[in-house]
Amino acid sequence: MHRRTFLFTTLGAGLAATPATALARPSSTTATHARAVQVRTLDELRKAIAAAKPGAEIVLANGTYDVPGDQTIAVTGRRGTVDAPITVRAESRGGVTLTGNRGFVFADSSYVVVSGFNLRQKTTFEIPTSCHHVRISRNDFQLADLEGMHWLMVRGDATTVERNHFHGKSTLGVFLGVEGPGSDGMARGVHIVRNYFSDHTFAGDNGGEPIRLGLSGRSLSEAGAVVEENLFERCDGDPEAISVKSSANTIRHNTIRDSLGGIVLRHGNKTRIDGNFILAGSNGIRIYGNDHLVVNNYTEQIGGSGIVLGSGSVRDHKPEDSPDSRRGNDAPDRVTIALNTIQSCGTAISGESQRTLPPLGCTIADNLLVGNAGQQLVSMPYQEGITWSGNLCWGAAAEGNIPASGFSRKDPKLATGSDGIRRLTSGSPAINAAGKTYPTVTRDLDEQPRTGRADVGADEYSQAAAHNRPLTSADVGPASR
């Protein structure tokens, strides 16, 4: 069996289709190591890495180290195991700063952890296709702010990027990109979790994404990535904070606050967007492509639309298409938008009219839409390909062109919790009011069970404490628990 096929089958296949609660949370620690090797110079560090066996732990003494000229810190041919990874870490978290043109350079390695560094290099940090099961953990990324330079580029299968802080970029280029082999492949089974993305201030209208998961030419490749529990604040370098340009991914339990960027399924199919908070920003969720599931999301105080169901310049991208030909917008087919709560947005749910191909076979059902005076609940130029049902509308906002058969107008009886989120209270007409069934949606926004007939909107009424809530900077990044 081909190595990449084996890896995906055993480690990453079908992640996007797996219920949210079935995937284990990542461990914040690594397995027990052999006695740590202490090093105090870059030469000692290089020698220790070159000699490292499974279970080795290499600790670089605190300080600032400049990697001179074209030199690197090579991690080549190093292979740990799942129970005994090779770990390279700073003496104390954030105690080591690496400067210079290049830093860690990976090749042909697996089960290696890099942890606790302040990374300040002048070239992209890359995990190539020759590597797998690399973990980039608890580092502070503030690489050189150079036009067009991406900071971390992942091409290796089963890479984990966890609890890092990416911040302070003002030029074209992404904080974190995921690509793969050739011109149309994707790294498979990548896990991006508990990172803090902040302060991307690139003023252009494209190219400053915090996360770019693929490219147009790679859009039909099933990546099976999971992007979860990340926090985005003041991410203004692109309208897309999480830009998905690949297929079969899961985007869940992230918080985007005070940012230009939203969650955008720009290219690709079969991605699940589940249980995200998008608060006090400019863009919500925007959708192109086929067979997506958008459930349990909470958007509030978005200047634009809470959710946009896009239009297309092409009906479907096909495997026989050249990568370059996939740049057009793929009209949404068979997309389900259900059980979301959208409040106080410029428009709750909207479409697009600038392209000629409408959505087909799409469902917008059992969402809770609340708006204020001067706002609009629905603005959908193409209605023929959409089935509306069970939506609950409230507030002084204009209803727009939501079909009369697709909604009822009732006070949902919401109350604001200590986390600022408005949830159902006892006696809400949203309770047990969903008109459709959702076999794969077993939990709500708060990660509480959905039992019996679902409640309308993202929240299933409960008096229990929420397990999923908007993240703060204390919950993510290098110092988080």
Give residue-wise pLDDT tens across range 349-377.
999 999 999 999 999 999 999 999 999 99
Q: Which domains does the chain have, with CATH numbers?
A: 124-475 (2.160.20.10)
Contacts of 2 (CB under 8 A, 6+ apart): none
Average pLDDT over residues 404-414: 98
Comparing 328 with 200, which gets the higher pLDDT? 200
pLDDT of residue 322: 76
Q: What is the maximum span of the chain, computed from C-alpha positions, in angstroms? A: 72
Tens of pLDDT, residues 28-51: 444 455 789 999 999 999 999 999
**What average pLDDT does the chain have?**
93
Express as a percent the part of the chain with pLDDT over 70: 93
Q: Rounded to an integer, what distance in angstroms lies between the CA atom of residue 174 and that of residue 329?
A: 21
Helix (H, G, I), strand (E, B) or coil at 440: coil
pLDDT of residue 131: 98
Distance between terminal CA atoms of the chain? 39
How many C-beta atoms lie closer than 10 Å to residue 420's C-beta? Answer: 12
Q: Which two tokens stand for residue 225?
A: 């990535």
Contacts of 6 (CB under 8 A, 6+ apart): none
